[in-house]
A and B are shown apart, each in its own frame.
Chain A
Amino acid sequence: MRSIVCVFLLLLLAHALLMQCAAAAEMAQNSETVAAQMLHRVAQYSSQIRTLRAEFVQEKRMSLLSRPLTSNGYFCLKRKGDSTERHEKHALGDSLLWGYTHPLASGFIFKNGQGAFWDGSPDNCRPADKEGRMLMTAVLRHMIEWVRLNPAMLQSSYHIICPDSNIPELHLYPLRQSLFSKMEVLFSADFSRVLRLTFVESNGDSVRISFKNIYLNEPLPDHCNTYLLQDTVGD
């Protein structure tokens, strides 16, 4: 009799484990399905973006620093006209002006695959060297990908999940070697804009950028236009 009970209990335990595994697999699948749906909704909005500007608060947590480093700034993004023009020469045909206002005024401009850094004012640009340009391209790609969003491309490069279907947030894990081990993207409720980007490095260092005062497809301020319309950067 005792052995029958033991067998019964074992079977019960196995069944429970199986059910739990199945539930976990289903949840993971659901999470990926929700993420895919979310991506497609975001793509609908992002394809319409021509200009984008916003202010941001950036918080960096690094093992090098004894305390988090917080910076404030703004950015202006200008996309080229139609897709043909945009992809004519450089895939990253979008122009970006990224500026810090606090604690120090500095930033960079990226345009037509070329980059330049500046201190004080964008007037004082110094072109990035080859390696600097490549690094800049790589980092910016992660940021700009959310503007020129291509769900298929992202899905081929990242394992994407939605941890909570009630929160419009995606977690991305690169499928191959990358500067970051994880990316988190929080969207607005209507999926029309990105509210927060978080990049996590493999050593645990992270940078979180929260955006506010986001303006879509509105004329860019003059100081942004001036720099983004120049043919070259850093001259």
Chain B
Amino acid sequence: MGINGIVTLYHAIKRHRILCFVFIVLFWGFAACTVVHMRQDTSILPFFPDDDLHARTIVRNMDVLPASRLLFVDISTDSTEKKYELTAVADAVARDIPKDLARPAFVNMPESQAVMGLLPYFFDDKALRHLLLASEAKHIEKSIALASNMLANVLTVGPAKDWLRADPLGLRSIILSRLSTGADTAILPDPITGYPVSADERHVLLTLRFLHSIHNVDAATRLMDALDRSLRVHLAPDMHVLVVGGLQHSAINARVIRQDVTNIVGISLLCFCSIYVMLVRSAGAVWLLLLPCFAATVALATMSLAYPVLSGLALGFGASVLGVAEDYAVHMHFALRCGRPAEQILPIVSPPLLQSFLLNASGFVVLMFSGIPAVRQLACFALLTLGVGFVLAVTLLPVCPWFATPMLYKRRAHALRQLPVLWRVTCCVCFLLGVGMGLYHLLRIDVSPRTMGAEVPRLKQESQTLQHIWGMRERHAFVVEGQTREEALELAREMAAAFRAQAPHTSVSTLTAFLPTPEELRNNVQRWMTYIDEHGAELREKILAAGKHYGFSAEAFDPFLELLRAPVATFDLECLRAAGFGDLLDTYMPVNTPDSQVQILLYADSHVDISYLEPRLATHVSAIDAGSLESMLLQKFEEEKHLVPVAWLVCLVLLFLDFRDIRQALLASLPPLCSIGCILAWMAASGHSLTLAGMAAMPMVLGLAADHGILVTHDLANGVRTGVERAILVSSLTTLTGMGLLALAQHPALRSMGEVIFWGLLIESPAALWLLPRLCAPIEETTI
């Protein structure tokens, strides 16, 4: 579409403006309805490349790790003898937590009779020898005498008596020695309170099991809010609380961001209004504010149709480009208020706006080739927002009521046409490039996920405190995947053997360490049944006789005698759960596994390098380790870094193609170069690193700076005043107060973003408005 085309389009829209407005409103309504049904993914999963299945598996597996869904609430007091008060608080908190979010996780104690029911499955040769020895008359006599003696002890109450009844011959060690390996470090509950109580009785531990995915930030935030409310109500003044769990990170992030936004939004709005009152003074401001909202809604709606799930983080970062979208409208607004009719202004303003749009868009088009879904979504969102912003700015806004009123006071409608002086511009560009290169070496880049979280050091400290109080130790987890349970168990067995071979001093535990193999299982059951057939009746008689001799009632040992009588059921892992080993089972075999794969977890004391495993095994195992995940993330970003210079190169080529003049292209690129120089100088001076959030803010800063460079260069070259100074001031100041004030935020990601925007825009406006004209000379001089 040529210069005349834009005027023709303007006239056409003006003629049918009512129809256009109705269409826009309807379209907006439709877009808003679509956005309501948008599905958001607040996890970090979209930040991992599509083709890197390994990384994605690790992130996904973090959700299946049972411990990742636990929230530990340590309630303590300085004074002693308040265990029951602490327990009462724990009870009240557990009651207050919404049942759809979490439930208390109590440690179940093994149930005597059900545990003894497992004996046939563990009845190996050693167990048979044990039982043959124990069933000799003199040993039975001795065992029953010991049971009688134990009964006399005041400590033999409740569960202890049940064990005597279910296991008079002391056979449970055959089972428990196998099944207790994983429970060595378990924190056992107090028999009376039901909660673990510390040795000094000043701490009670309430463990909550989160019922949603750990990536569900909304549910995590609701849980933490409910917990806080409950603790505020029930906690006595002399009590303290320590909350530790992976969910806390999500909830604290959301809370800090909410607090930051609440604190900053008021100041921002005040500044925003002041800027509009002082510099805009027009009812057309309403359209300036509506345009970014419309652009964002349309962009989100289109993306909802294009992507089944959108990354919340990517969209959050993408919101920063709304400032650039508003920029087009601001420029059009002030250009139209300069006193000329729209038919004259549109051909002058539209080309530099189009050039700015193409420039910004080109950078984001390059990012669309990224292998990281979140980056692609961010680029897509930016492209759509900028596109809608630009199209509306040059088509619909000029016909909007009051948009071009009142006229601006202008000293000169015309000025001398100016072109950049080559040596001045070249010197300036070289200087800025030199400074930029020098500072780049001092720059530290930190794209680790830690930089995206609030209060990370405090949370880590609290986690260590909790581990110290309760003697927890950190274990490295590995996930083994198989098509069937048998295959997964077999793989886990092989994997554990390989780990032990690689690191002999490392303790490796997995479900297969507790369970007999299918073959062993068959043999054990067969062995048990043979024994019962041959000796069962005799053993029963001996026990009854000895019991009678020592004063036991006839029914005293019924649970054990029933075991001798009952047929052996087919072994199922659920037998372990029935016996009170449900926690053990869940620890090693997560129930919430995605897909149709069966997963078995392995734990090791120290990190085991799985790259040494033979390929057949390595394909089935992945480590769940935050450290390796972080390094993997860094590696992926390193691999994506080449896209940044490509994006820059594309932008420069576009600049040159548009101006077809190296001097103007260089001049227009000065504001973004100044912004980069200022950001780098600030980072070098303050020692701050360039974080992921800072990087996300860069396109917005550089986009605005490039826009302003292009518009001022056009303005100078045309010699026609189109209110560009005031437009730049308004655009920069609104962005500075809107996003730049985030530099005051507590959340590190928001702060980092705000700092980059603040320092980038601080220098960009003076560079565009003051420096650029000084590097130019009237057209007659430059042609000499």
* Per-residue interface assignment for chain B, residues 108 to 121, with 1 indicating a CB less than 8 Å from any chain A CB and 0 otherwise: 01000000000000
Name the B residues within 8 Å of A63 (CB-CB).
Answer: 553, 555
Name the B residues within 8 Å of A92 (CB-CB).
Answer: 201
Bound together, the chains give a CA A71 to CA B202 distance in angstroms of: 36
- The answer to whether A89 and B200 have CB atoms under 8 Å apart is yes
- The answer to whether B154 and A156 have CB atoms under 8 Å apart is no
Q: Which interface residue of A106, A135, A143 has the most chain B CB atoms within 10 A? A: A135
| Chain A proximity of B17: nearest CB distance (Å) | 74
- The answer to whether B157 and A201 have CB atoms under 8 Å apart is yes
- The answer to whether B190 and A138 have CB atoms under 8 Å apart is yes
- The answer to whether B157 and A113 have CB atoms under 8 Å apart is no
| Chain A proximity of B527: nearest CB distance (Å) | 29
| Chain A proximity of B73: nearest CB distance (Å) | 18
State which of B81, B159, B192, B555 has its C-beta within 8 Å of the C-beta of A150. B81
Given the known A-B contacts A89-B199, A90-B199, A113-B199, are A65 and B151 also in contact in the complex, defined by CB atoms under 8 Å?
A: yes
Does B570 belong to the interface (CB within 8 Å)? Answer: no
Q: Which interface residue of B155, B199, B556 has the most chain A CB atoms within 10 A? A: B155
| Chain A proximity of B82: nearest CB distance (Å) | 7
Given the known A-B contacts A66-B551, A67-B551, A90-B199, are A209 and B154 also in contact in the complex, defined by CB atoms under 8 Å?
A: yes
- The answer to whether A91 and B80 have CB atoms under 8 Å apart is yes
Name the B residues within 8 Å of A205 (CB-CB).
Answer: 157, 161
| Chain A proximity of B420: nearest CB distance (Å) | 79
- The answer to whether A91 and B81 have CB atoms under 8 Å apart is yes
Chain A residues numbered 131-147 whose CB sits less than 8 Å from any CB in chain B: 131, 134-141, 143
- The answer to whether A178 and B551 have CB atoms under 8 Å apart is no
Given the known A-B contacts A64-B161, A65-B551, A139-B154, are A178 and B192 also in contact in the complex, defined by CB atoms under 8 Å?
A: yes
Name the A residues within 8 Å of B83 (CB-CB).
Answer: 91
Name the A residues within 8 Å of B85 (CB-CB).
Answer: 156
Does A17 belong to the interface (CB within 8 Å)? Answer: no
Does A176 belong to the interface (CB within 8 Å)? Answer: yes
Does B571 belong to the interface (CB within 8 Å)? Answer: no
Does A179 belong to the interface (CB within 8 Å)? Answer: yes
| Chain A proximity of B156: nearest CB distance (Å) | 8
* Per-residue interface assignment for chain A, residues 155 to 171, with 1 indicating a CB less than 8 Å from any chain B CB and 0 otherwise: 01100000000000000
**Number of residues from A at the complex interface, CB < 8 A:** 49
- The answer to whether A136 and B192 have CB atoms under 8 Å apart is no
Nearest-CB residue, chain B, relative to A65: B551
| Chain B proximity of A83: nearest CB distance (Å) | 9
Nearest-CB residue, chain A, relative to B149: A104
State which of A87, A91, A139 has its C-beta within 8 Å of the C-beta of B157. A139
- The answer to whether B155 and A64 have CB atoms under 8 Å apart is no
Name the A residues within 8 Å of B109 (CB-CB).
Answer: 131
Name the B residues within 8 Å of A176 (CB-CB).
Answer: 87, 91, 192-194
State which of B80, B149, B193, B553 has its C-beta within 8 Å of the C-beta of A64. B553
- The answer to whether A60 and B151 have CB atoms under 8 Å apart is yes
* Per-residue interface assignment for chain B, residues 543 to 567, with 1 indicating a CB less than 8 Å from any chain A CB and 0 otherwise: 0000000011101100000000000
- The answer to whether A66 and B552 have CB atoms under 8 Å apart is yes
- The answer to whether A156 and B84 have CB atoms under 8 Å apart is yes
Bound together, the chains give a CA A65 to CA B91 distance in angstroms of: 37
Bound together, the chains give a CA A17 to CA B158 distance in angstroms of: 41
| Chain B proximity of A74: nearest CB distance (Å) | 13
Name the B residues within 8 Å of A98 (CB-CB).
Answer: 154
- The answer to whether B200 and A91 have CB atoms under 8 Å apart is yes
Name the A residues within 8 Å of B148 (CB-CB).
Answer: 69
- The answer to whether B556 and A65 have CB atoms under 8 Å apart is yes
| Chain A proximity of B163: nearest CB distance (Å) | 10
Given the known A-B contacts A64-B553, A91-B81, are A106 and B154 also in contact in the complex, defined by CB atoms under 8 Å?
A: no
Name the A residues within 8 Å of B149 (CB-CB).
Answer: 103-104, 106
Bound together, the chains give a CA A91 to CA B82 distance in angstroms of: 10
- The answer to whether A130 and B157 have CB atoms under 8 Å apart is no
- The answer to whether B157 and A180 have CB atoms under 8 Å apart is yes
- The answer to whether A64 and B164 have CB atoms under 8 Å apart is yes
Secondary structure at the B interface, as helix, strand, loop or mixed, is loop
Does B88 belong to the interface (CB within 8 Å)? Answer: yes
* Per-residue interface assignment for chain B, residues 63 to 93, with 1 indicating a CB less than 8 Å from any chain A CB and 0 otherwise: 0000000000000000011111101100100
| Chain A proximity of B187: nearest CB distance (Å) | 10
- The answer to whether B194 and A177 have CB atoms under 8 Å apart is yes
- The answer to whether A177 and B161 have CB atoms under 8 Å apart is no
Does B493 belong to the interface (CB within 8 Å)? Answer: no
Does B646 belong to the interface (CB within 8 Å)? Answer: no
Given the known A-B contacts A65-B556, A136-B155, A201-B158, are A153 and B188 also in contact in the complex, defined by CB atoms under 8 Å?
A: no
Does A100 belong to the interface (CB within 8 Å)? Answer: yes
| Chain A proximity of B229: nearest CB distance (Å) | 24
| Chain A proximity of B734: nearest CB distance (Å) | 60
- The answer to whether B192 and A141 have CB atoms under 8 Å apart is yes
- The answer to whether B157 and A199 have CB atoms under 8 Å apart is yes
Chain B residues numbered 233-287 whose CB sits less than 8 Å from any CB in chain A: none
Bound together, the chains give a CA A199 to CA B155 distance in angstroms of: 11
Bound together, the chains give a CA A139 to CA B202 distance in angstroms of: 19
Chain A residues numbered 48-71 whose CB sits less than 8 Å from any CB in chain B: 58, 60, 62-67, 69, 71
Given the known A-B contacts A139-B155, A153-B81, are A134 and B188 also in contact in the complex, defined by CB atoms under 8 Å?
A: yes
- The answer to whether B159 and A135 have CB atoms under 8 Å apart is yes
Name the B residues within 8 Å of A38 (CB-CB).
Answer: none
| Chain B proximity of A85: nearest CB distance (Å) | 12
Does A207 belong to the interface (CB within 8 Å)? Answer: yes
State which of B87, B164, B200 has its C-beta within 8 Å of the C-beta of A90. B200
State which of A90, A104, A180 has its C-beta within 8 Å of the C-beta of B152. A104
Nearest-CB residue, chain B, relative to A136: B155
Given the known A-B contacts A100-B152, A177-B194, are A207 and B157 also in contact in the complex, defined by CB atoms under 8 Å?
A: yes
- The answer to whether A64 and B152 have CB atoms under 8 Å apart is no
Bound together, the chains give a CA A34 to CA B311 distance in angstroms of: 67
Does B415 belong to the interface (CB within 8 Å)? Answer: no
Nearest-CB residue, chain A, relative to B553: A66
Does B160 belong to the interface (CB within 8 Å)? Answer: yes
Given the known A-B contacts A64-B161, A69-B151, A199-B157, are A134 and B191 also in contact in the complex, defined by CB atoms under 8 Å?
A: yes
Bound together, the chains give a CA A23 to CA B414 distance in angstroms of: 104
Nearest-CB residue, chain A, relative to B557: A64
Bound together, the chains give a CA A100 to CA B191 distance in angstroms of: 25
- The answer to whether A108 and B80 have CB atoms under 8 Å apart is no
| Chain B proximity of A29: nearest CB distance (Å) | 23
Bound together, the chains give a CA A158 to CA B81 distance in angstroms of: 14
| Chain A proximity of B151: nearest CB distance (Å) | 6
| Chain A proximity of B760: nearest CB distance (Å) | 58
Q: Which interface residue of A58, A106, A139, A143 has the most chain B CB atoms within 10 A? A: A139
Bound together, the chains give a CA A83 to CA B275 distance in angstroms of: 67
| Chain B proximity of A222: nearest CB distance (Å) | 24
Bound together, the chains give a CA A136 to CA B199 distance in angstroms of: 13
- The answer to whether A69 and B551 have CB atoms under 8 Å apart is yes
Bound together, the chains give a CA A179 to CA B158 distance in angstroms of: 6
Given the known A-B contacts A65-B551, A104-B149, are A153 and B201 also in contact in the complex, defined by CB atoms under 8 Å?
A: no
Name the B residues within 8 Å of A153 (CB-CB).
Answer: 81-82, 84
Binding site for B on A (CB under 8 A): 58, 60, 62-67, 69, 71, 87, 89-92, 98, 100, 103-104, 106, 108, 113, 130-131, 134-141, 143, 148, 150, 153, 156-157, 174, 176-180, 199, 201, 205, 207, 209
Q: Top 7 closest A-B pairs, CB basis?
A: A91-B201, A87-B80, A138-B191, A64-B556, A91-B80, A157-B84, A71-B152
7 sampled A-B residue pairs with Cβ under 8 A? A65-B552, A66-B552, A67-B551, A130-B188, A135-B155, A176-B192, A177-B192
Binding site for A on B (CB under 8 A): 80-85, 87-88, 91, 109, 148-149, 151-155, 157-161, 164-165, 188, 190-194, 199-202, 551-553, 555-556
19 further interface pairs, Cβ-Cβ under 8 Å (given A65-B151, A134-B188, A205-B161): A60-B151, A64-B164, A64-B552, A65-B553, A66-B552, A100-B153, A106-B153, A138-B192, A139-B155, A140-B155, A148-B81, A153-B82, A174-B192, A179-B157, A179-B158, A179-B191, A179-B192, A180-B157, A199-B157
